[in-house]
């Protein structure tokens, strides 16, 4: 044996073990598991009533919000349906002509109902969400402040979009125009083919489609609501008998008001308002009639057509001076076959001399 080992044996001491790098996991005992279960049970026992109250409160808020949302949406739908039925009930009466057509009522009802239902759902569900967050004792002040700042930023950034949307909502609610109406919106005019919350589509006279933003419309002239006026000016000679002219126009008006479809398009008798102007060689008789909305132009054309035929049959001339006698031919113009004077007719004129051929001069031998 070596000397160090002998010395160690002599002194009775044992060598110390070298340190180990591995750790032995401690196995939890049954007593530790029992203590953890006891602590969890005590925590649940202490807080179960609070969590149960919070859960029941959240459930109650959600149930009330859902029921209120369904009730409000059904009430809005029934209100819109009642408005449509009221409008349909007066069709065919005197008031029916002042109402919009079926497609216009349908689109307007859908738009109003959609807007009201969306607003009601947003308000109800938004309020319910805030109440649920408040139930969990979450501070809503930072959330509301952030929402306010975001709303202001969106309002400044999308102010044109918000303006168009609000203008569209009020146009639909106030029934300023609808599908099938002929309107003059300032920036464009034509027949309305679609009404939206942001834009309105118009078809122009040449078939083009105009997309008009609702926020850009400053004034609207609706040519299809209420009634229209058909005005015709008849210009005759100043020497015509006014009583005879009136009787011929009255016959035309009576005949036109009894024929279809003009009896439906005319909402009043055709009236002779009188002389609009009197000149030296002519006078203008003003004829007017109240017509169906949008039918004034067709009625004016038909009145002109019939008055012209009736005047031709009654030998009443429209516009012009004295009429030529039947069978009488105008006298021939004595200067018709006479040529205009020409400078070339005088051989001594500078023009004739300039146009004469140059004669050859003989060459001297």
pLDDT in tens, 283-322: 999 999 888 887 888 899 999 999 999 998 888 888 754 4
- How far is Cα 24 from Cα 326, in angstroms, rounded to an integer? 137
End-to-end CA gap in the chain: 173
Q: Which residues of the chain have pLDDT under 50?
A: 1-10, 13-16, 19-21, 90-100, 321-325
pLDDT digits (tens, 9 = 90+) for 18-38: 544 455 555 667 676 667 767
Residue 14, token pair as written in the block: 């044992």
Looking at residue 71, what is its pLDDT? 93
Query: 356 phi and psi, to 5 degrees?
Result: -75, 145
| pLDDT given for residue 9 in this prediction | 47
* Backbone phi, psi, residue 201, to 5°: -100, 125
Nearest of 214, 199, 118 to residue 163 by alpha carbon: 214
pLDDT of residue 202: 92
The reported pLDDT for the residue numbered 322 is 45
Torsions phi, psi for 243 (to 5 deg):
-65, -40
CA–CA dist 313, 297 (Å, integer): 25
Give pLDDT, residue 264: 86
Rounded to an integer, what distance in angstroms lies between the CA atom of residue 199 and that of residue 207?
Answer: 18
Q: What is the pLDDT of residue 97?
A: 43
Q: Residue 87 — left, alpha, or beta (φ > 0 → left; ψ -120 to 50 → alpha)?
A: alpha
């Amino acid at each position: 044996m070596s000397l160090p080992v002998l010395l160690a044996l002599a002194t009775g001491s044992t060598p110390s073990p070298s340190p180990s790098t591995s750790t032995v996991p401690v196995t939890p005992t049954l007593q530790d598991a029992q203590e953890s279960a006891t602590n969890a049970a005590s925590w649940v026992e202490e807080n179960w009533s609070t969590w149960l109250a919070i859960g029941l409160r959240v459930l109650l808020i959600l149930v009330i919000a859902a029921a209120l949302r369904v009730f409000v949406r059904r009430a809005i739908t029934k209100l819109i349906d009642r408005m449509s039925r009221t409008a349909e009930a007066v069709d065919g009466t005197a008031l029916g002509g002042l109402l919009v057509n079926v497609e216009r009522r349908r689109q307007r009802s859908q738009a109003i109902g959609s807007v009201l239902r969306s607003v009601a759902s947003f308000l109800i569900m938004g309020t319910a969400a805030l109440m649920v967050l408040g139930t969990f004792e979450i501070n809503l002040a930072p959330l509301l402040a952030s929402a306010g700042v975001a709303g202001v930023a969106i309002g400044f950034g999308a102010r044109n979009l918000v303006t168009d949307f609000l203008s569209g909502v009020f146009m639909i609610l106030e029934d300023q125009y609808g599908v099938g109406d002929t309107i003059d919106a300032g920036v464009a005019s034509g027949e309305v083919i679609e009404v939206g919350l942001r834009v309105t589509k118009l078809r122009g006279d040449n078939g083009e489609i105009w997309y008009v933003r609702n926020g850009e419309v400053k004034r609207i002239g609706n040519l299809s609501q209420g009634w229209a006026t058909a005005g015709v000016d008849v210009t005759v000679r100043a020497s015509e008998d006014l009583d005879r002219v009136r009787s011929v126009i009255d016959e035309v008006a009576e005949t036109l008001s009894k024929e279809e479809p003009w009896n439906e398009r005319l909402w009043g008798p055709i009236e002779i308002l009188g002389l609009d102007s009197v000149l030296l060689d002519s006078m203008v008789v003003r004829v007017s009639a109240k017509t169906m909305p949008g039918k004034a132009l067709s009625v004016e054309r038909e009145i002109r057509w019939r008055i012209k035929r009736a005047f031709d049959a009654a030998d009443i001339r429209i516009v012009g001076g004295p009429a030529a006698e039947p069978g009488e031919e105008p006298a021939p113009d004595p200067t018709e076959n006479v040529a205009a004077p020409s400078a070339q007719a005088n051989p001594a004129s500078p023009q004739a001399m300039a146009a004469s051929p140059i004669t050859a001069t003989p060459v001297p031998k």
